[in-house]
Chain A
């Protein structure tokens, strides 16, 4: 068990709802769900959720901590916001799902090779580096996430797309060496470090 996870278990015992309310973005809304299921029916990836949103809400209330946080359900969110605009109780469902995914990732409980989890981490690390997205490094990073062999296979399978983008001048091979970026990278890094410290303090991740 990671230290963070052990500390959370110790602090909240089996009151998972309280834990979610305190530490998950939008968590204070979970108790408002009336189990109508409109969110689940509205989700473009609905069929792929092991536990659709309204079920996740009930599981949180029932204290099913392990099942919720280790689930890959929240990672199916495409951020289309259908659930938010249709929810009769106006729960910010998209944000709660993002919050749960972030929390599970943070505690080290999210499924390890869940592709969206891997990609999301890669994306954030990519943008933080220079302040802006490096699209080429991001795509290559994703292709080669499982090593050189599978990477070459994926890259070859995707080569038509890459060539098409290259021809349309919407992909620049020079991004590998010198990509776009912000001037004040130092300031951005200092600012993000501070933001992480404050957030850890507010959500009880730090002493």
Chain B
């Protein structure tokens, strides 16, 4: 299969020393196997995330996203923008749609972009890495490079909110999306059915409303345990961080004994493709996954 090229929007959390740096490590390993070339959008900026609205307002937020899209159009012409972060993808895509449907807003955005020497035409497509995997490859093609199926391991596919709503992955239902389960199964793992697959982890409010958010996190992890999962898997950096790092706080608050590793789909894929623990970014787990580390070490 020919090499596939994309304009890559890694997002703030994927940077070195940031909260999802191990996501990027595993995405790079996964892409190497699949012969995907990710060309980073030069000088990309923050998307404003889900909390930028309050101080940022409407146009400034769209302009931040339009800048990234304009940079991609200019520097990486003909390549679709691919984001790995759910919030980056959502924000960029929302801006694309709004500007597409509102010529005044688009003109306004371009007037502001001129100040940064840029212009947004609206040609570039915005996609999430999961869409690239499912739509440009497909489960069968993703299965091909599997050399070490994750046999006998049980995963709770935690889709969460922002890759699922409001846009979602084409053909999936908002209430019970199955793409993540299919990805897990394609890697030879078992996707356990459980009832908190699309529950919100609290998002940015995990910082400002910890008590309310930790109730959400408790429901998610508890349900994963109740349905026999050993690991949680997610496509979203904020879901990953919230559901992983606050388990200790949840334990203090609720007297639970949670200690469930929370991984990215790209980590699973790297492992199934024969990657090492380091290539899969397993050293980036706050709750370590010794079973997977042992699996990675096995020839």
Residues of A within 8 A of B (CB): 25, 44-45, 48, 76, 78-82, 84-86, 92, 94, 98-99, 101-102, 105-106, 115-121, 123-125, 127, 131-133, 135, 139, 142, 160-161, 164-165, 167-172, 174-175, 180, 182-184, 187-188, 190-196, 198-199, 202
Contacts and interface: CB of A to CB of B under 8 A. Distances in A.
Contact of A199 (B45, B59, B168, B202): B59
Interface stretch (B113-121, B142-150, B227-235): B113-121
A99 B63 CA distance: 17
A89 to B, nearest CB: 14
Contacts of B118: 187, 191
Interface string B39-58: 00001111011111111111
A79 B166 CA distance: 10
Given A101-B53, A170-B18, A79 B161 contact: yes
Nearest to A106: B57
Contacts of B20: 170
B22 A168 contact: yes
A131 B116 CA distance: 13
B162 A81 contact: yes
Contacts of A132: 12, 15, 45-46
A168 B285 contact: yes
A160 B48 contact: no
Contact of A161 (B12, B161, B174, B245): B245
A81 B113 contact: no
Contact of B53 (A120, A133, A139, A194): A120
Interface string B83-123: 00000000000000000000010001101111111100000
A109 B175 CA distance: 36
21 contacts: A45-B212, A48-B212, A76-B209, A79-B51, A98-B53, A102-B55, A116-B208, A116-B209, A124-B48, A131-B46, A135-B12, A168-B285, A168-B286, A170-B19, A191-B63, A191-B112, A191-B113, A192-B112, A195-B62, A198-B59, A198-B112
Contacts, number: 220
B209 A115 contact: yes
Interface of B: 12-13, 15-22, 43-46, 48-60, 62-64, 67, 104, 108-109, 111-118, 161-162, 165-166, 168, 174, 199-200, 202-205, 207-209, 212-213, 216, 245-246, 248-249, 283-286
Nearest to B46: A127
B115 A124 contact: no
Nearest to B54: A120
A84 B165 contact: yes
Contacts of B216: 44
Contacts of B109: 195
A168 B284 contact: yes
A161 B246 contact: yes
B163 to A, nearest CB: 11
Contacts of A168: 22, 283-286
Contact of B286 (A84, A165, A174, A188): A165
B108 A165 contact: no
A172 B18 CA distance: 7
Contacts of A164: 245, 248, 286
A202 B257 CA distance: 53
A132 B108 CA distance: 23
A88 B28 CA distance: 41
Nearest to B49: A123
Contacts of A172: 16-18
Contacts of A135: 12-13, 18-19
A123 B162 contact: no
Quick one: which of B45, B60, B115 has the most chain A CB within 10 A? B45
Given A168-B22, A170-B19, A199 B60 contact: yes
